[in-house]
Amino acid sequence: MSHPSSTSSPSAPSTLKILTLNVWGLAYISKARQFRIRYIAERLAEGDWDIVALQEIWVESDDWRFVSARCAERLPYTKFFYSGAFGSGLAILSRFPIFATHTQPYTLNGLPLNVGQGDWFVGKAAGSISIDLGDGILVDVFNTHTVAAGGEDGPEMLRAHRLMQAWELSKLVQNSAEKGRHAIAVGDFNSTPPSLPIAILRNLGSLSDAFLSTHPSLPPNAVTLPGQAALGSTTSPDPHLAIAKLGVTCDSPLNSWTEGKPLDGRARAAAGKRLDYIFYRGPYSADSEGQDPAARYTNHGRLKPVDCKVCFTERVPGSDMSCTDHFGVEATFEILPRSIGQATKDTALNTLADRDLTSTLNSAVSALGAYMHHCSKTQRSHLLGFCGCVTAALTLAIATPFLGYRGYNLFAAGAIVLAIAAGWGGTTLLYSGVIWGEWEKRALRTAIESMELDLSHLSQRQSLNRPNGQSREDGSPTRVRRTSRDQRSHGPAAEAESLI
């Protein structure tokens, strides 16, 4: 790896072009994997992207080595991110030298008993590289693929793990900004624009959406275009328009891998879903130094998106199959001169941002608190299941000799097998109920307390900005949230803990 120069810095390029693509590269599961990924590699090698972020490129020994070797001339600097038992499936290729990398496995990655989903075993993560564009512009590029469990419907607590991952990524982005670096976060977020995880990234991480920035007429939380079919309508929207104007990347009827797939109402109403994003932000401004992370100004730094669109929508030549089950997203950023790329200190905008952040954090605290209560109930049920399995294993172990003594050898053999299965099941439930159960609750408690501390700082700052302690528009007095010391004995985390 190279290192950023501490003396003179070369001039920065005029533009930066980034691509994110989920290649659907699961060994033995993804269809036509090698055929598709080899075509993707050819496209990457012939393209003009400066940075390429890939998700679900699981087979390092075959697919990743082929892709990195084929792109070595154009994108010579690479990083494959290791995490979990089978890898994170994340990789980045760069035209610029990489001077640092980091792999941050997410604290919560699905449940160990949900073997079919596999998230817990692969260890979903945020992988990042640090590059020097010259002229003092350091950029941290984050690549991620968050868990899909929980979908988009139902109570928000169903998506607690995805929400936690968005919160952790936001903290990583904040850390980059505090170091004086620009941050770009890309990947498959498994979340539509109006979802709470996306709100966390926008409001807590202060991340801007490159697609929205280059499509200013599109509402931030749009899931259908104006004039398109509403949810539940039988009218089919235009899938080409949905890709071009709405940014649909998954479940599009134009994707061959969507055929025959059961789609929910959101995907049918919008001709797909927008799940893949390119976010960006600038470093913290000099005049916000020393303030709490929530006190931030509108700051894009020296990155200005001039184009962002969905790509890799074509079929692989010589076949009738799409490149992958997701479309890609590419964005071109203009690198602004030092005198232009500055934070804008706008009191009205930041007051509105504080309100959005307060609403988002309150929703997140409520969702995580509800899920923590659910975890306590699940923990108790698993411990009861452990007791049942142990009882069954002991009963079968005691009964086996008597069955053999009376000549029921087949039944005795069956009892031994069942006793082993009960013992294995009991061990699994003991791990899930005690070790994993406590791990999960402590992670949730950590996030809740951090969010409540941010809310306290927000409330205090808003109180200082209002005359005579007046707070909300209805004239009611400001209520300052409890401090972190009080949170250890109150709030959603403590309420859930008290139910154990």
Catalytic positions, written as ranges: 326
- Bridge partners (DSSP) of residue 62 are none
Rounded distance between C-alpha atoms, residue 217 and residue 437, angstroms? 45
Residues 6+ apart with CB under 8 A from 397: 415, 419
- Taking Cα atoms as reference points, which of 192, 332, 317, 331 lies closest to residue 249? 192
Is the Cβ–Cβ distance between 364 and 167 less than 8 Å?
yes
Is the Cβ–Cβ distance between 108 and 160 less than 8 Å?
yes
Rounded distance between C-alpha atoms, residue 344 and residue 258, angstroms? 43
In order of 3, 159, 172, 339, the CA distances from 104 in angstroms are 21, 20, 9, 34
Measure the N-to-C terminal CA separation of the chain; round to a whole number of Å: 49
Is the Cβ–Cβ distance between 313 and 327 less than 8 Å?
yes
The kind and range of the H/E element at 94 are strand 90-94
Rounded distance between C-alpha atoms, residue 311 and residue 318, angstroms? 19
Rounded distance between C-alpha atoms, residue 400 and residue 408, angstroms? 9
**Scanning the structure block, which residue is given the tokens 């620009």?**
182
Q: What is the largest CA-CA distance in the chain?
A: 92
SS3 264: coil
